[in-house]
Amino acid sequence: MPAPRRAGARLACGLAATAVAAALALAPLAQVGGALRDLLTWVAGFGLVLAGAAALRVGSLLGPALVVLLAEHTVVLAGRGDRVDATAPLVGAGLLLYAELASWAREARPRVHDEPPVLVARMIVVAASALAALGIGVLVLLAANVPAGGGLARLAVGVAAAIGTLAVVVVVARPTSTRARRG
Amino acid sequence: MNRRPSAKIAAYVGVAALALLAGLALGRPELVAVAAPLAVLVVAGLASARDPELAAEVAVDRERALVEDQVTVTLTLRTAARVERLEVLLVVPPGMEGPDGARRAWATAVSLAAGEQRVLPIELTCRRWGAYWLGDVHLRAHDRFRLFTWERHLDRHAPLKVFPVPDALRTLVTPVETLVSTGGHVAPQRGDGIEFADLRSFLPGDRPRSINWRATARRGDLMVNQRHPERATDVVLFLDSFLDVRGPGGSTLDRTVGAAASLAAAYLRQRDRVGLVSFGGFVQWLQPGGGQTALYRLLDTLMETQVFATAAWKGIRHLPPRTLPAKALIVALTPLVDERGVAALFDLLARGYDLAVVDISPLAQAGSGDGQWGELATRLWALERETLRHRYQRLGAAVVEWPDALHLQQVLLEVEACRRRAGLAPG
């Protein structure tokens, strides 16, 4: 496959990721008004720039881009009152889809020729991940509406989940070597 | 294999942790719904990630090739666990070209099932002569969710020598003196041969078949033909590799090595003995030898010719005496750029060697200078080179400039004509 076509695949993934990020960044603006809307517009713009840069050029900006996009939704949710936002699973799936497409764009190096089965498998994994994310989000929201103990139990579960997540970071964020383990 | 977590893990886990904490603080289950997929994907990735235990072998289909030949590097991959994406990067050494015109590296990405063996044949085209090491391969395996990579580097270990394609040369520089062994050069001496030399009176012991009956009838006395024997000679190819002038159209060193290979093959075909002295940063030599073995030895040595900057220079007096036999014809291939190479040729002339110099012109590679002063400098340089050639000619060497556009055969014909004018070659 000639190099321009491979560069095209990378660009297509990057642009698709940016489009998803744009949808995620612009969606909250419709739910607010006044000064908050102005503030969120700036946040959305910043998040979009970060997301585009992460997808097309600087892979290390993926985390900050996700944080800014999440922060925008958090601000909207904080001012929403008691009503549950049913679109949250879509936001979760969208964030995951954006991150997967952005990392795919970084992975598709112009010099590397991916065989068709590799591309098809990757496409299936990305699509399945997004669908699974949607399903998990719906399940979480459904579970949240089930009366399960008092506030203390829910707090304990939340704290355990947060600590567990951080523990995962510590465990996996170090490189290992097969050779070193054998030696 | 070395396992590395991708940056995606930190991003996913960090965002999930933040969302969970925010959801907890604000009491919003929506944020948990946003965080959960990211956390679940990381957990699933951790659970499914396995070291692929990849085994890889590299083989090259041959050890010798000619320029513009295609060489196949076969990469055999085996894996114990399934690999969703395996990036294979083969380093293409300078002077070779990979598929699709890849210059520095060629890469592909494949998927492997558990226990599968995959053979990847990679065609490389040899664009330049030289000694290469092939098989420098980098492997990078990804898991299904692209959370981890396993990397491995295969050390280079397959040698390949690429020889220049020898030009077909019909006429070579004729030596002044020959050896006693039979060869392809007409010797000035009289003896058994094909080329007619002279007539003389019959002497006892002359073979009847040498009698020239027509001359005998005309003179009334038995006359016999005398002939020049065909003899072999020692030829030493003298390569000046102190400097290499490179340009868009090639380099002087490439032309030097190509010409040396062509001359060696042509002289050896004539049953001459050919030796080699390569003068550069380090000195290489081969004593004159004949036959196919000598050709391979010469070519192998030529492949190692390279410019090697050094200030340590000892001159030709440190060469073993057998490297430069007294009656040898020395064909020097030099761009006449480095003073040490120029001085070595003067040294050879002073020692009385039969020397023919092919001046591989670097003017085309260097290009003409910009502006008026650049053009003036180029003209001065050309004049200096011409003066140098005249100095060699005055000392008895045949010197001919080889511009980029000319074929080596034309240059050799000019050298031969030059030697004939100087009385060094039979007219």
Q: What chain B residue is nearest to A77 in terms of C-alpha separation? A: B28
Residue A1 touches partner B, C-beta closer than 8 Å:
yes
In the stretch 141-200 of chain B, residues with CB closer than 8 A to chain A read 142, 144-147, 150
Do A168 and B29 lie within an 8 Å CB cutoff? no
Which residues in chain A are contacts of B21 at CB distance < 8 A? 162
Q: What is the pLDDT along chain A (183 residues), one digit of tens a residue?
A: 445 556 677 888 999 999 999 999 999 888 888 888 888 999 999 999 999 999 988 888 999 999 999 999 999 888 877 778 888 999 999 999 999 999 999 888 778 888 889 989 999 999 999 999 999 999 888 887 766 555 677 677 767 777 776 776 666 555 555 444 433
Q: Report H helices in A57-87.
A: 62-78
- Candidates A80, A75, A79, A55; CA nearest to A65 is A55
pLDDT band at B188 (very low <50, low <70, confident <90, very high): confident
**Model confidence at B223: pLDDT above 90:** yes
- Which DSSP string corresponds to A84-107? --TTHHHHHHHHHHHHHHHHHHHH
Q: What chain B residue is nearest to A138 in terms of C-alpha separation? A: B33
Type of residue numbered B70:
Q
Q: What is the pLDDT of residues B289-310, one digit of tens each?
A: 988 888 888 888 888 776 666 6
- What ipTM did this prediction achieve? 0.83
Q: How far apart are CA B336 and CA B373, in angstroms?
A: 23
Most confident stretch, A166-180, B341-355, B357-371: B341-355
Q: How far apart are CA A90 and CA A24, in angstroms?
A: 9
Q: What is the pLDDT of residues B257-288, one digit of tens each?
A: 899 999 999 999 888 899 998 887 677 888 89
Instruction: Report strand pairing: B284-289 vs B329-334.
Output: unpaired
* Mutation target vs A (from B30, B84, B120, B143; most A CBs, 10 A cutoff): B30
C-alpha of A75 from chain center: 17
Q: How far apart are CA B15 and CA B353, in angstroms?
A: 82
- Candidates A151, A143, A164, A100; CA nearest to B21 is A164
Which range is least confidently modeled, A134-143, B177-186, B229-238?
B177-186
Q: Answer with the residue of higher pLDDT: A170 or B166.
A: B166
Do A114 and B109 lie within an 8 Å CB cutoff? yes
Cβ–Cβ under 8 Å, residues B357 and B392: yes
Crossing angle between the packed helical segments B7-26 and A62-78, to the nearest 10 degrees = 10
Residue A131 touches partner B, C-beta closer than 8 Å:
no
Which residues in chain A are contacts of B87 at CB distance < 8 A? 112
Which residues in chain B are contacts of A66 at CB distance < 8 A? 11, 15
Do B109 and A62 lie within an 8 Å CB cutoff? no
pLDDT above 90: percentage of residues in chain B = 28
pLDDT of the residue at A21: 94
In the stretch 34-53 of chain A, residues with CB closer than 8 A to chain B read none
Residue A153 touches partner B, C-beta closer than 8 Å:
no
Which residues in chain A are contacts of B142 at CB distance < 8 A? 107
Which residues in chain B are contacts of A74 at CB distance < 8 A? 19, 22, 26, 28, 31
Cβ–Cβ under 8 Å, residues A105 and A9: no
| DSSP type of residue B191 | B
Residue B55 touches partner A, C-beta closer than 8 Å:
no
Cβ–Cβ under 8 Å, residues B70 and B124: yes
Q: What chain B residue is nearest to A110 in terms of C-alpha separation? A: B107
Q: How far apart are CA B368 and CA B380, in angstroms?
A: 11
Q: What element of type H or E holds A9?
A: helix A3-26
pLDDT band at B34 (very low <50, low <70, confident <90, very high): very high
> By three-state DSSP, how is residue A122 classified?
helix
- Which DSSP string corresponds to B142-171? E-TTS-EEEEEEEPP-EEEEEEPPPP--S-
C-alpha of A173 from chain center: 19
Q: What chain B residue is nearest to A131 in terms of C-alpha separation? A: B37
| DSSP type of residue B112 | E
> By three-state DSSP, how is residue B250 classified?
strand
Residue B104 half-sphere exposure toward CB, CA atoms < 13 A: 2
Residue A103 touches partner B, C-beta closer than 8 Å:
yes
**Model confidence at B370: pLDDT above 90:** no
Which residues in chain A are contacts of B107 at CB distance < 8 A? 109, 111-113
Specify the length of chain B in residues: 427
Which residues in chain B are contacts of A70 at CB distance < 8 A? 15, 18-19, 22, 34
- Candidates B355, B273, B401; CA nearest to B344 is B355
Burial class (CB in 10 A: 0-12, 13-18, 19+), B402: buried
Looking at the partner chain, which of B4, B12, B145 has a beta carbon nearest the beta carbon of A125?
A: B145
Q: Answer with the residue of higher pLDDT: B388 or B315.
A: B388
* Mutation target vs B (from A50, A142, A169; most B CBs, 10 A cutoff): A169
In the stretch 119-148 of chain B, residues with CB closer than 8 A to chain A read 142, 144-147
Residue A165 touches partner B, C-beta closer than 8 Å:
yes
Do B14 and A169 lie within an 8 Å CB cutoff? yes
Residue B103 touches partner A, C-beta closer than 8 Å:
no
| DSSP type of residue B368 | P
pLDDT band at B4 (very low <50, low <70, confident <90, very high): confident
Residue A146 touches partner B, C-beta closer than 8 Å:
no
**Model confidence at B315: pLDDT above 70:** no
pLDDT of the residue at A180: 40
Residue A92 touches partner B, C-beta closer than 8 Å:
yes
Q: Which pair of structure tokens corresponds to residue A147?
A: 């009366």
> By three-state DSSP, how is residue B231 classified?
strand
Rounded mean pLDDT of B212-240?
90
Q: Which pair of structure tokens corresponds to residue A161?
A: 């989940």
pLDDT of the residue at B313: 60
Looking at the partner chain, which of A70, A133, A175 has a beta carbon nearest the beta carbon of B37?
A: A133
| DSSP type of residue B307 | -
Which residues in chain B are contacts of A178 at CB distance < 8 A? 1-3, 51, 53, 150
Residue B77 touches partner A, C-beta closer than 8 Å:
no
* Mutation target vs A (from B6, B24, B34; most A CBs, 10 A cutoff): B34
Instruction: Report strand pairing: B117-126 vs B182-186.
Output: unpaired
Q: How far apart are CA B118 and CA B116, in angstroms?
A: 6
Give the residues across from B357 on adjacent strands: B332, B399
Alpha-carbon distances, residue A128 vs B41, B299, B406 (angstroms):
11, 59, 66
Which residues have a Cβ under 8 Å from the Cβ of A142 and sit 6 or more positions away?
none
Q: How far apart are CA A109 and CA A9, in angstroms?
A: 9
CA B14, B17, B23, B29 torsion: positive or negative?
Answer: positive
Q: What is the pLDDT of residues B58-111, one digit of tens each?
A: 889 998 898 899 999 999 999 888 898 999 999 999 889 998 888 889 999 999
**Model confidence at B334: pLDDT above 70:** yes
Do B100 and A3 lie within an 8 Å CB cutoff? yes
Rounded mean pLDDT of B397-411?
89
Distance from CA of A23 to the nearest CA of B (A): 16
Do B84 and A158 lie within an 8 Å CB cutoff? no
pLDDT of the residue at A179: 46
Q: What separation, in Å, do the N-terminal and C-terminal C-alpha atoms of chain A show?
A: 41
Q: Which pair of structure tokens corresponds to residue A89?
A: 């699973």
A169: phi > 0 → left, psi -120 to 50 → alpha, else beta; which? alpha
Which residues in chain A are contacts of B137 at CB distance < 8 A? none
Radius of gyration of chain B, Cα coordinates, nearest whole angstrom: 33
Do B3 and A175 lie within an 8 Å CB cutoff? yes
pLDDT band at B156 (very low <50, low <70, confident <90, very high): low
Q: Rounded to the nearest 5°, which phi and psi values hold at B286?
A: -135, 130
